[in-house]
Amino acid sequence: MKKIAISLMLAAGLVATSAQAGDIEKGKQLSATCAGCHGADGNSAAPTFPKLAGLGERYIIKQLKDFKSGARNNPIMLGMATPLSEEQMADLAAYFSAQKTSNGAIAKDKMELGARIFKAGNAATGVPACLACHGPAGAGVAAAGFPRLAGQHADYIKAQLNAFQDDARTNDGDNKMMRDIAGRMSKKEIEAVSAYVQALY
* Residue 115 identity (one-letter amino acid): A
Which pLDDT belongs to residue 19?
Answer: 55
Task: Write the pLDDT tens digit of every residue in 140-197.
Answer: 999 999 999 999 999 999 999 999 999 999 999 999 999 999 999 999 999 999 999 9
Task: Write the pLDDT tens digit of every residue in 63-91.
Answer: 999 999 999 999 999 999 999 999 999 99
- Residues with Cβ within 8 Å of 159's Cβ and at least 6 positions away in sequence, in order, are 48
Domains, the chain, in order of start with CATH, read 2-9+103-199 (1.10.760.10), 18-97 (1.10.760.10)
> Is a pLDDT exceeding 80 seen at residue 9?
no
Which pLDDT belongs to residue 21?
Answer: 85
pTM assigned to the model? 0.89
